Structure 1
Amino acid sequence: MTDLRTLTFDEIETLAIKALTASNVSAQNAAPVARSIAAAERDGQAIVGLSYLPTYCDHAACGKVDGHAQPRLEMLSAAALRIDAATGFAHPAIALGLQPLVQAAHRCGIAALSVGNSYACGSLGYFVEELAAQGLIALMAANASPSIAPFGGQTPFFGTNPLAFGVPREGREPLVIDQSSSVVAKVAVIDAYNRGVALPDGWAIDANGMPTNDAAAAMEGSLLPIGGYKGFGLALMVDILAAGLTRSHWSFEASSFGDCEGGPPRTGQLIVAIDPTLLGGNDFAGRLEEMLSASQQTPAVRLPGDRRLEARKRHKAGIAVAAAAVETVERYAREGSPILPS
């Protein structure tokens, strides 16, 4: 059984800030990244929580991401905003643009924010939920370095290229849908590799295009797109939205999120925010609840995000985190990334 340590949300956030700032990240940039790490642990998404933080720290230490970048916001029109992340973390860049995006969406009914020259942003659901909590429907796309072979191929070309959707609900937490274009997120394969466990059938192929349950072979091969050719189409759509409209690298041009080779990946994110009353009318919220209630015909039917909300409730008094992950991050907080220049 895995040894656990119980921490509060604030303790996880503070620890993450210390590890990042010790690894060549400014305090201003570390804060929004650390908050997303704590939110991932709170919501039961540990594979993008503290155990993933050392990758962020290592990439800041080696220059894969500029921990001192200063993102720049530009208003292109009343409803279109653009941010140059300057090869820094996506989180502070998105944080810079979210409130101007909210204001533009409420003012115009619909608005879009493009974030270019960026880096991995973790869970997209984290960002769309923030917008939904402010009364807006949000759609977010993000591209990533190559992990998925095109349908019928065997060489990775697209990233896991996730897409997320958030919608406000009347008297309830927002509904959040967050999924990758692949059968599973790349971090799940990395997690399986680190734990030495086999992959389920249908997750990946090896370098020769053959199905594999070996995480190491999968990392040398390719993840499979969700739904076959439909997932390939989804990954293509996300690449166009997240890279094409943000003037960023296409997935096939981006350096890996998994090592320190190749310089900054320069990927992108696109967020569209919509005032639901603009097209849906003032009765949108009520009609949404009617539809969602009708969809839950039996207790076995669960809405997307239900497990995340259940985890959040369980963790109000404290968050149980793998002790090994906490100890590793504590070491980073004391000493910084081991690959920092001496």
Structure 2
Amino acid sequence: MSEKIHLLIEQCEAVCREAALRAGASEAAATALARASVAADAEGNHAVGMAHLSLYLDALREGRIDGKAVPEIGRPLPAVVHVDARGGTAHLGFDLAYEKLVEAARSFGIAVFAQKNAFTCGSLGYFVQRLAEDGLVALAATNGPRLMTVSGAREPVYCTNPLAFAAPMPDGDMLLIDQATSPTAFAKVRSAAGRGEEIPEGWAVDAEGRPTTSAAEAVKGALVAFGGSRGANIALMVEILAAGLTGANWSLDAPSISEGDRSPRTGLFVIAIEPSAFGQDFPERLRTHAGRLAAKGVHVPGRTKAAARLRARQEGLSVPRHLFEKIEAWGRS
């Protein structure tokens, strides 16, 4: 087992921020990226946490992310915040527009954040989780370069096109769903390929369209939509929200996130809802209902992650030493 070192959240964010700065990010972009990366590790989502940061660092260095981009924030309607990331990270645009989004949701009961021309966002749950921590119900959709095929297609046509949903409960607890329209996230397949591991049957096809359990072959081929045409339909709905409405690249047109020097210019679409517009007792009602479901053996997603985040904030994180040293080396390069 890899040796681990124990660090406070602030220490993890500092080393990630320094690495992003050295790779070409502005102070604001580096801070946003570091915060999101460490937040994923804090809830146990390591595939898109600090281990995933090297994807962003390479993209900054090689031009797929414009680290100096300043997002353009518009307000075409009172309850709509429209952001052009201008080839930068998804996280910075969201950070800069966050207060406007929350204020609009509180004023009108519902508000929309729509962003185009950004790099892919890593953990989609991060965006809705932040809104739930501020007492809002949130739904998010995002797309990226094509990685997933569907029945009847001969090639990848969509990204994994995830959906995320979060709803607040009292005392920092929350319901949080974050899932791709493929059986798993591509980051997990890429991570398995790096370790030379197999993946479960039914997750992917190889470059020739044949089912495969080799993660390395899956990376060369494509993931498949879960649930056949039903999963494909959900992926299409996500594509229309995240790319169609925002004005971002369709997945078919998005350049690679791991090669070349062009931004994928993909989209992020977030709906924020003020639950008090419908009554004052929503968080408590949800907690009670979640308890009833749990008593019947139902897994209520997000509660374990919420507890992990709280524990990480209080106690810090255990990080593989080799990973910490790799990121720290980026910060010195």
> Would the alpha carbon gap of residues 171 and 307 (structure 1) be closer, same or farther in structure 2, given more than 3 Å must change?
closer
Deviating more after overlay: 264-273 vs 226-235: 226-235
Q: Per-residue CA shift, 1:18-55, capped at 9, x if unaligned? A: 10101111112100110111111111111111211111
Aligned equivalents of 2:29, 2:260: Cα separation in 1: 22
Deviates more, 1:307-316 or 1:287-296: 307-316
Give the paired residue count: 332
Equivalent residue letter for 1:235: A
Aligned to 1:117: 117
In structure 1, C-alpha distance between the alignment counterparts of 2:65 and 2:210, rounded to whole Å: 34
Q: Which residue of 1 aligns with 2:206?
A: 206
1:19/1:329 contact within 8 Å kept: yes
Overall identity of the aligned pairs, in % = 38
Q: Partner letter of residue 62 of structure 1?
A: E
Q: How does 1:26-41 map to 2 (within 5 A)?
A: 26-41=26-41
* Counterparts of 1:274 and 1:295, CA distance in 2: 24
Letter in 2 for 1:326: F
Name the aligned partner's letter for residue 74 of structure 2.
Answer: E
SS in 1 for 2:74: strand
Match for residue 128 of structure 1? Answer: 128
1:264 aligns to what? 263
Look up the match of 1:326. Answer: 324
Kindly report which structure 2 residues correspond to 1:303-318, keeping only aligned pairs within 5 A, or say none.
303-315=300-312, 316-318=314-316
8 Å contact kept, 1:200–1:213: yes
Greater helix fraction, Structure 1 or Structure 2: 2
In 1, the alpha carbon distance for the partners of 2:315 and 2:61 equals 34
Task: Judge which range, 64-73 or 321-330, deviates more.
Answer: 321-330
Provide, for residues 290-327 of structure 1, a one-character-per-residue CA deviation record: whole Å limited to 9, x for no partner. Answer: 322221234x4321123323433553323111222112
> In structure 1, how many angstroms separate the alpha carbons of the residues matched to 2:133 and 2:47?
24
Give the aligned residue type for 2:89. F
**Superposed displacement of residue 162, structure 1:** 1.0
| Matched-pair contact (CA < 8 Å) for 1:154–1:222 | no
1:78 correspondence with 2:78? yes
Cα RMSD after superposing both structures: 1.5
Q: Structure 1, residues 223-262: CA drift from partner, whole Å, max 9, x if none?
A: 11122211111110111000011111001110112x2226
**274, 279, 287: which one aligns with 2:285:** 287
In structure 2, stretches of 5+ residues that fail to align are none
Q: TM-score, normalised by structure 2?
A: 0.95
Partner residue in 2 for 1:181: 181
What secondary structure is seen at the aligned counterpart in 1 of 2:117? Answer: strand
Find the aligned partners of 1:114 and 1:240 in 2 and give their Cα distance: 12
1:277 is matched with 276
* 3-state SS in 1 of match to 2:86: coil
Partner of 2:252: 252
**Aligned pairs for 1:77-156 within 5 A:** 77-156=77-156
Give the CA deviation at 1:179.
0.8
- Consecutive unaligned residues of structure 1, counting only runs of 5 or more, are 336-342
- SS of 1:51's partner is helix
Cα contact 1:109–1:275 (8 A) shared by 2: yes
Hey, what's the Cα distance between the residues in 2 that align with 1:48 and 1:289?
28
Q: SS state of the match for residue 138, structure 1?
A: strand
Q: In 2, are the aligned partners of 1:154 and 1:221 still within 8 Å (CA)?
A: no
The within-5 A match list for 1:206-225 is 206-225=206-225
Report the 3-state secondary structure (helix = DSSP H, G, I; strand = E; otherwise coil) of the residue aligned with 2:190: helix
SS in 2 for 1:268: strand
**Deviation >4 Å, runs of 4+:** none
Q: How many angstroms apart in 1 are the aligned matches of 2:89 and 2:214?
A: 31
Residues 325 and 209 (structure 1), Cα distance of their counterparts in 2 relative to 1, 3 Å cut: same
Partner of 1:302: 299
CA displacement at 1:281 relative to structure 2: 2.2
Instruction: Describe the SS at the equivalent of 1:55.
Output: helix
1:112-137 deviation per Cα after TM superposition (whole angstroms, max 9, x unaligned): 11111111111111111111122211
CA contact (8 A) 2:196 2:216 kept: no
Does the Cα contact within 8 Å between 2:174 and 2:302 map onto a contact in 1?
no
